[in-house]
Amino acid sequence: MAMCSTFYPRLSTHLNCKSFSLFPVKHRFLVSIKAFSSQTFAPKADDLPASIGFLGLGIMGNPMAQNLIKAGCDVTVWNRTKSKCEPLISMNAKYKSSPEEVAASCDVTFAMLADPESAADVACGKYGAAKGMGPGKDYVDVSTVDGETSKLFCEHIRATGAHFLEAPVSGSKKPAEDGQLIFLTAGDSVLYEKAAPLLDIMGKSRFYLGEVGNGAAMKLVVNMVMGSMMASFAEGLVLSEKVGLDPSVLVEVISQGAISAPMYAVKGPSMVKSSYPTAFPLKHQQKDLRLALGLAESVSQPIPIAAATNELYKVAKSHGLSDQDFSAVIEALK
């Protein structure tokens, strides 16, 4: 079977083609949505798949995999840098040397990678998970990628006889640690039902959005809004200080008004102190804005605020802030 890496260069070509639509018009208003709160469902041991694979143990993947282990799941892990697997191995996780080996040894395999290129290589590169998939096996990609990339994964995974579910998450490091993520899923409904107890261990709610690509689209829209909100908040903090106001008081005022948001309350105090402990890397926020712009282009939808915001994050990256928290975008305004 041909690997995703063979076809991956065509993704950028398609994204630059104005006539190409990742999400056909007929689906824009006809998505069947099912939403569940994990607080309502307490997974039982008998409900869980026998063996679970987890590929990618970064800021998000590590705590997600840890929560599965703490819940009593039999977890096998892989990461490009093996040292990141050691804390989970010490918690009795098993280790395999490639995504292919993990997928071959597990019933359900999750993948949490940083970008579309990494996710493509892990899903169906030379030693990718697709090589180890087959009938009766399942692949759940919780990475944030564009819709076309997700559809390409689906094509290759289903070609092996396995099931595919995209399930990007809304939430950053702390929600991942606390099992409070929001899963935006789409794909094989039978896998959605099978994976539900696992999603409920790692998250507080889950949405089933229908066809593959809808989960990716929802995640990009959510992160587009989040990035724009953060940029506007940063402008407010910088302006308040420039005119002689105390930005800490601005954070408090905002927290008591109609535009109050948990993100402002959590990030504001650190931003005032020019401290940006990484929960969601700035480079990933800019990547998601770039993908959201591609999504908008595919349906000829203007998003000028997001476009301007993307430029601000690019400036922040040029200042060496890529690995800082995305709230460090404020430095590009100073």
Annotated active-site positions, please? 219
Nearest CA among 68, 137, 72 for reference residue 105? 137
Sequence length of the chain is 334
C-alpha pair distances (Å), 273 with each of 227, 237, 277, 291: 20, 11, 11, 31
Which residues lie across from 75 on neighbouring strands? 52
Dist CA 255 CA 273 (whole Å): 18
275: left (phi over 0), alpha (psi -120 to 50) or beta: beta
User: Which residue do the tokens 């506007």 mark?
Assistant: 232
- b/e per residue 112-136 (b: at least 16 CB within 10 A): bbbbbebbbbbbbbebbbbbbbeee
Residue 32 CB neighbours (<10 A) = 10
Helix (H) and strand (E) counts in the chain: 14, 10
First to last CA, the chain: 52
C-alpha pair distances (Å), 122 with each of 13, 32, 54, 169, 225: 21, 30, 11, 18, 29
Phi, psi of 34 (to 5 degrees): -120, 130
Positive/negative CA dihedral, 309, 310, 316, 318:
negative
